[in-house]
Chain A
């Protein structure tokens, strides 16, 4: 158990590419932090810097009370779960789990006890004698987790561990990882590009873009109050609609005169748009329904705002009785609007 402190970390590759720029983060003991962002945002690099697989160009990294900048991965007391599992193909599951302990000169009966315990916890005990190639994707995933578990490290590092699984298994493993992490209370850093995974797993979420932290917060904070246009567009599916404030003013949509200084874009989540006017102050705009897409319990409506080509996505429960090409009126509560400045890309209020 330990906290992890990232203080102004930088990573510059030999070619001069700036992969991580000035990342500071305080991971509390027992906390599950999810690093999320599009590919190439530096989230994996950051994780690998914590693991010790990438050198740190500048800044300080502390695990527990120790500065570990120059320690080998093995000496940092961390365990890592890799994206493609990285199981040793020629070793049995048992030896895969035991290898790290053997290298640390753990006594044999202690190794056996820990391996059996981890195997029972992850329900892989029946496969201990098998080689990885005789396991399914989900089982391999469990073995990879087991290899981290037996070490009883100060922190787990997960590098997109679920991205090679099919959708159904991914949901199941996601739940299991969450439960396991809660039970063990081990500090964890988890990297993913899947925003749903990020929202469900995280105690706190770190949204990265271009090697810089865009926002840190609990999943609901990040979802309800995205700090920047990037976060607003990245978290939430379908993505948040962005409408120029100017347009709404011109159309005379019911609109408060007092927008925060510098606001020129208004963000509205697809599920905060309604067909029936809500209570209290509200915004109303109309548009032409271009496409109705039923998706089971809900439907997605693709709409072009009246007098402009601005596309809007709306999410409504069930399947509404409407025709494509019809003009419809949408409403949104004033509280549900997210004001942004186009120039700075930040939230204005």
Chain B
């Protein structure tokens, strides 16, 4: 398959570079835009070189917000997003790993039925069930709360399914050896299954965190109190808020800051990823 053809190499690299450029260019434009003063964008020409206002723009979004348009300083929104994303991630992980453990290692009546019920929820993403979910959350008095932001998004068939697939590849003798060694089910789970799943957990952590961080529709629907605004919906409010022209330089600064936490999570978790790829522990 691998040919050391000069033109082949050149062509392959060309395609890759073009691909990367297509992906990176908008990000670059956003970062550049966040460094210009407000008037620049009204001329209709996007600058491609950094402007002089970087420090001032970032200071504005972090400390002042746009009180006129009803958007608070973004520190609070970043924190809200972080809390929501973490709650969703940890909730999803702990519930799905436990339910996968139950489905794979225990024989109880209705085991297959429950598995399919869990599987069925894959077909019902938040957007589909948003009206009844809102009704339930509102009746429970969870509007404008972190519980309301995170709990409805925690059920996850995807993670349950992935853990189930992984558990099924763990040799059964390991469980039997643990039984002979005097480990009960929960001890087996804690001492053996959990350490073996650590790379899967890391991978799912990244995916779930980004999923939680990027939630837009749900927070928009159930939060009316500024205190619970999340960053992603905050950006939208900045664009449409107020009567004046959107302040693109501030929006772009906010966007850049909003993209940072997911990037940090990926960078941090990458080490575990690589470990998971190079070490085959089974």
Chain B residues contacting A52 (CB-CB under 8 Å) are 179-180
Known: A73-B180, A74-B180. A86 touches B173 (CB 8 A): yes
Asked if B191 is at the interface (CB within 8 A of a chain A CB), the reply is: yes
Query: In the complex the two chains form, is B180's CB within 8 Å of A103's CB?
Result: no
Which of B191, B195, B196, B282 makes the CB contact (< 8 A) with A99?
B191
Query: In the complex the two chains form, is B174's CB within 8 Å of A86's CB?
Result: yes
In angstroms, Cα B176 to Cα A100, docked, is 12
Q: Which of A287-333 contact B (CB under 8 A)?
A: none
Chain B residues contacting A89 (CB-CB under 8 Å) are 196, 281-282
Using a CB–CB cutoff of 8 Å, the interface residues on chain A facing chain B are 51-53, 72-74, 78-80, 82-84, 86-90, 99-100, 103-104, 133, 147
Chain A residues contacting B3 (CB-CB under 8 Å) are none
Number of residue pairs across A and B with beta carbons under 8 Å? 62
Chain B residues contacting A78 (CB-CB under 8 Å) are 180
Query: How extensive is the interface on chain B, given as a class?
Result: 20 to 34
Query: In the complex the two chains form, is B182's CB within 8 Å of A104's CB?
Result: yes
The 8 closest A-B pairs by CB, nearest first: A100-B181, A86-B173, A74-B182, A103-B182, A86-B177, A90-B195, A89-B281, A73-B180
Asked if B26 is at the interface (CB within 8 A of a chain A CB), the reply is: no
Which of B173, B191, B192 makes the CB contact (< 8 A) with A84?
B173
Asked if B183 is at the interface (CB within 8 A of a chain A CB), the reply is: yes
In angstroms, Cα B175 to Cα A53, docked, is 10
Distance in Å from the Cβ of B238 to the closest Cβ of chain A?
Answer: 47
CB closest residue in chain A, given B179: A73
Query: In the complex the two chains form, is A82's CB within 8 Å of B173's CB?
Result: yes
Can you list 30 A-B pairs, Cβ within 8 angstroms, ordered by A? A51-B180, A53-B179, A53-B180, A73-B176, A73-B179, A73-B180, A74-B181, A74-B183, A79-B180, A80-B177, A80-B180, A82-B177, A87-B177, A88-B191, A88-B192, A89-B282, A90-B195, A90-B196, A90-B281, A99-B181, A100-B181, A100-B182, A103-B182, A103-B183, A103-B187, A104-B182, A133-B279, A133-B280, A133-B281, A147-B181
CB closest residue in chain B, given A74: B182
Query: In the complex the two chains form, is A84's CB within 8 Å of B281's CB?
Result: no
CB closest residue in chain B, given A72: B179
Q: Which of B178-213 contact A (CB under 8 A)?
A: 178-183, 187, 191-192, 195-196
Chain A CB within 10 Å — which of B173, B183, B281, B282 has the most? B173
Which of B180, B192, B279, B280 makes the CB contact (< 8 A) with A100?
B180
Chain A residues contacting B177 (CB-CB under 8 Å) are 80, 82, 86-88, 147
In angstroms, Cα B192 to Cα A93, docked, is 14
Query: In the complex the two chains form, is B180's CB within 8 Å of A88's CB?
Result: no
Q: Could you tell me the dominant secondary structure of chain B's interface residues?
A: helix
Asked if B171 is at the interface (CB within 8 A of a chain A CB), the reply is: yes
In angstroms, Cα B173 to Cα A84, docked, is 8
CB closest residue in chain A, given B279: A133
CB-CB contacts of B134-170 with A at 8 A, as 1s and 0s? 0000000000000000000000000000000000000
Query: In the complex the two chains form, is B181's CB within 8 Å of A53's CB?
Result: no
CB closest residue in chain B, given A132: B281
Known: A99-B191, A133-B281. A86 touches B171 (CB 8 A): yes
Distance in Å from the Cβ of A236 to the closest Cβ of chain B?
Answer: 32
In angstroms, Cα B281 to Cα A133, docked, is 7
Chain B residues contacting A51 (CB-CB under 8 Å) are 176, 180
Chain A residues contacting B176 (CB-CB under 8 Å) are 51, 53, 73, 80, 82, 86
Q: Which of B248-282 contact A (CB under 8 A)?
A: 279-282
In angstroms, Cα B182 to Cα A19, docked, is 27
In angstroms, Cα B177 to Cα A135, docked, is 19
Chain A residues contacting B182 (CB-CB under 8 Å) are 74, 100, 103-104
CB closest residue in chain A, given B280: A133
In angstroms, Cα B36 to Cα A133, docked, is 56
Chain A residues contacting B195 (CB-CB under 8 Å) are 90
In angstroms, Cα B187 to Cα A305, docked, is 65
Distance in Å from the Cβ of A68 to the closest Cβ of chain B?
Answer: 13
Chain B residues contacting A74 (CB-CB under 8 Å) are 179-183
Chain A residues contacting B180 (CB-CB under 8 Å) are 51-53, 73-74, 78-80, 100
Distance in Å from the Cβ of A126 to the closest Cβ of chain B?
Answer: 22
In angstroms, Cα B174 to Cα A79, docked, is 14
Chain B residues contacting A88 (CB-CB under 8 Å) are 174, 177-178, 191-192
Which of A83, A84, A103 makes the CB contact (< 8 A) with B181?
A103
